[in-house]
Amino acid sequence: MENFKQKTTRISILLLMFAAAHLSALSQGLSVVEDKSSQTFNCIGRTETEACVRIVANKSLELSFSSSVDAEVYIASKTEVGANIVYELSFPTDKIEYTERRLTIRCQLFPNGETISLLLEPKESLIFNVSVSECYKTVMKDAADLFRQSLYKEAKEEYKKAKECFDAPADGEATVKIFVIDSILNWKKQADASFDLLDYREAREYYNKIIKYNFQDQYALNRSKECAKKYDQHCLDCFSKAEVYFSTGEYRQAKILYDKVIKQNCDQKFTANSRLKEMKVDSIKRLDQSTVFTYEYANNVPIGFSIGSYKNKKGGFFITFKSNTAFFNMIRSQHKKGMRHEANLSAGGNFRPVKNKYVPVWINIGLGYTGIGDYYSYDIIMEGGAAKKIDVLFTGGELPEDYRHIFKHAISPEIGLLGKIPFGPKSSVSLALRYTFQYRIALEVASQDYMKPVAHGFGIGICF
């Protein structure tokens, strides 16, 4: 009685194990069913007590076997019969532990396989049919789950397995899925590269392509939102910088940024277009010219010129020379009554205090030299009963043989303003007006009253 109960309990446990293994196998798509309708076959084992198991499977399923109690499963024969392969296995039965034998059957598509329990009696023979229940559908489902989780490489491997299923249809769905995955992986690579290069518009386009095929891809979704935010900020930054350049009259730099705003289809593109129309190509050329040449006039020195570079953004330089006809006559040893010969040379730098297109004004600061002279001759006077030679200012007439000209020297710091006035919206030159204030510091204290301490100068010319 006790042996019967133990045997019944053992059989129940084995049946439960078989059912669990069978359900597990079905979940993987591999099915092993005992064929009770077929007649038993003569078992030819290695010993008289061995039992035999015949496994019948489709040729597409290359099977392998392992046992829980046998070091190696002995395959007595392997024969192709039509579309199937018939495996004949033999197992020893002469030990008690063999009654708890579990045979695991695996194939390439389902490496976990299915485990069945074998309660074999000596010389017993059993037949099992192995098949894959909806192989293609099962593998495709697993691949789709991986795809939804954005595990694209793993999903691609599953789709490859699906193509190898014996029941795979000829419509090529798995092939299409593999192509989509390859495209997604390529889009992701390009999107990340564009993102790193701060090209958020292009990066977002690639991320959105991924989302189109997998709206559950959290990485692409988050990156797309981040790109939209950064793209808007980038557009705003470009437009703001362009507006600064526009307000300071630096139209070349402004045009580059406005063009970028328009090209990237930013929200500010309509304003950028309006700005470009205001600037125009010809006005850009005109306002970027910096060379200024002016005719200079000042009291006693009506002949002069000034040339310099007056840039919109950076500092520039200038040099000025002013003189009169008496100075040139002096060089030619000629003299006219009542005219002092005078020359003024100055140089310095300039800058734009307000960088705004509506305030085209520059400040000049420089240092110069001023020389003023007259012709003198000698006169003889008696002083204390003795003759004394003194200098007498020559005021006209024929110069005596002993004439000489004497220069008084001064250092002349100066400050001034220059303004540009366009001749027209399409003109490539502008009118330039210049004013300078000069203070003269005589090198000899006795000469300070000889020359005016302050001089004003005016200039008119062109900027090109």
Gap between the Cα atoms of 233 and 253, Å rounded: 20
Report d(CA 301, CA 308) in Å as an integer: 20
Beta bridge partners of 456: 437
Mean per-residue pLDDT, 320-343: 78
* Rounded-to-integer distance, Cα 26 and Cα 15, Å: 16
Q: Whole-angstrom Cα distance, residue 370 to residue 408?
A: 8
Give pLDDT, residue 24.
36
Cβ-contact 221, 211 below 8 angstroms? yes
Residue 10 has pLDDT above 90, yes or no: no
Distance CA 410, CA 406 (A): 13
What is the pLDDT averaged over residues 374-378? 74
- For residue 2, pLDDT over 50 is answered with no
Which residue from 438, 437, 440, 432 is spatially nearest to 459, judged by alpha carbons? 432
Span 303-312, average pLDDT:
91
pLDDT tens for residues 384-436? 667 676 666 666 666 666 667 778 899 999 999 999 888 766 566 789 999 99
Give 323's strand partners: 303, 343
* CA–CA gap between residue 131 and residue 84 (Å, rounded): 10
Residues in a beta bridge with 376: 393, 404
Tens-digit pLDDT profile for residues 26-55 = 334 678 888 877 767 777 778 888 999 999
Q: Are the C-beta atoms of 451 and 440 separated by less than 8 Å?
A: yes
pLDDT mean over 50-70: 91
Assess contact for 57 and 33: CB atoms under 8 A: no
Asked if 43 contacts 50 with a C-beta cutoff of 8 angstroms, the reply is yes
pLDDT of residue 39: 67
Domains in the chain with CATH codes: 2-127 (2.60.40), 134-279 (no CATH), 289-463 (2.40.160)
* Residue corresponding to tokens 């007649």: 39
Which residues have CB under 8 Å from 456's CB, separation 6+? 298, 299, 435, 436, 437, 438
Per-residue pLDDT reduced to its tens digit, 167-217: 788 777 898 999 999 999 999 999 999 989 888 888 989 999 999 999 999
Contacts of 343 (CB under 8 A, 6+ apart): 301, 321, 322, 323, 327, 370, 371
